[in-house]
Structure 1
């Protein structure tokens, strides 16, 4: 059986895993989780007891959770056999192995970079907070997000992609999925203040796999490169 990826909408970080699966080009299905609908179906706990997305049900029925683990798994699949896309194997310069470089970057993105947005989301989602508390959270979040974008802007100064190779990797896919939150919260002018990050995100926006994943997230009826075999319901995935 082909893998099934459970992805969350709207604007979930699981967008990165859809991009990566498209780059991989091997058969897969998707299952959509509307994150704003609370509570989530209790049966989802059988997929991921942490009640979070993404979650990838593998061909043998085992389940893999956490973006870092899922993206590393997809990257390793891309390194196996022949006929796989060049975009999946990670490439890093220097003494570190390719897997070391990818793991290091993904660990940073899924912790420091992701968590920098935490105060902004808390201010946005917590209706019971007073205006002063929300303003404090927003100021904290803006400071944290700016710090991480400044780091990435320096990191990308002499690189076409995060790992320095000639093509994007799953790390770039994750960056795209999360970096767009800065626009959502209207923090800064990305092109003016962090031009290297803006350049990378603009290139990623032209990737067919990225365009496909965004269309899927928006609920559009798209086919991609042929690897996507359609959506399944939670009930069907649990059979």
Structure 2
């Protein structure tokens, strides 16, 4: 079957998986899941992902893979010939896996207090505490990333990898929350700007916004959750 990525809106970390699929130029479809509504907590979607989160990927052989890091590592070998990913057991795979893990545990987690405040309507002094906590965590994560980036054009060197796709999908949350100030990290800011101009990133942004967007990869259209469940034998 043609893979299906179940992506979340608004502003899901699944953004990075859309960019990765575009870069890999393999055939794929998308299923849009509203994270602010009832659909993501529905019994129907829990057949795709029991913990009711995005992203999830239905693979070409009909298996389901959840969590951005697992999805990107699943996809990585398909980009080995172009340096976008690496085959398991190689030094490149270990470096990619290490970077994805850092992005997941440090950068992603740094934004968690801000999303908690947003999702639960936290205001006043409680919100100020959460913002201050997030600011400290994110400043540290950005400083570490700035050091790891060094003089390279991308996170793992002179060529983009799937780690850069995941980075952009998370780092853009700074524009939404106003924290942190990325201008304090000039090399990261250059990387972010470079990725923002990438056709795959522009496509993913258009998809999230519900706009008509031109794919430069293998995008074959959207499917509804009900249709995906039937195809996977989960209806």
**TM-score, with normalisation over the residues of structure 2?**
0.91
Q: CA deviation at 1:110?
A: 1.0
Q: Return structure 1 stretches of 4+ with deviation > 4 angstroms.
A: none
Given candidates 114, 118, 130, the residue that maps to 1:120 is: 114
In the alignment, is the contact (CA less than 8 A) between 1:8 and 1:53 conserved in 2?
yes
User: Paired residue for 1:158?
Assistant: 151
How far does the alpha carbon of each residue in 1:149-185 deviate from its partner, in whole angstroms, 9 at most, with x for none? 1111222231111011x32111001110000111111
Match of 1:171 among 144, 163, 172: 163
Give the alignment of 1:49-128 within 5 angstroms: 49-79=50-80, 86-90=82-86, 97-127=91-121
Partner of 2:36: 36
From the superposition, tell whether residues 213 and 159 of structure 1 become closer, same or farther in structure 2 (CA, over 3 Å): same
Contact 1:23 1:87 in 2 (8 A): no
Which has more helix, going by share of residues?
2
Unaligned runs of 5+ in 1: none
Instruction: State the 1:223 CA deviation.
Output: 3.4
Q: CA deviation at 1:26?
A: 1.1
Residues 199 and 130 from structure 1, CA distance in 2 versus in 1: closer, same or farther, beyond 3 angstroms?
A: closer
Aligned length: 227
For the aligned residues, what is the CA RMSD? 1.7
Range moving further from structure 2, 153-162 or 20-29 = 153-162
* Contact 1:162–1:168 (Cα < 8 Å) also in 2: yes
Q: Contact 2:23/2:217 (CA < 8 Å) preserved in 1?
A: no
5+ residue gaps, structure 2, are: 231-235
Q: TM-score, normalised by structure 1?
A: 0.90
Instruction: Report whether the alignment pairs 1:46 with 2:47.
Output: yes
Displacement after TM superposition at 1:28 (Å): 0.5
1:212-236 Cα distance to aligned partner (Å, 9 max, x none): 1111111112231251000000000
**Which one of 171, 175, 178 corresponds to residue 183 of structure 1?**
175
Partners of 1:113 and 1:12 lie apart in 2 by: 14
Q: In structure 2, how many angstroms separate the alpha carbons of the residues matched to 1:138 and 1:217? A: 26
Q: Does the 8 Å contact 2:29/2:220 carry over to 1? A: yes
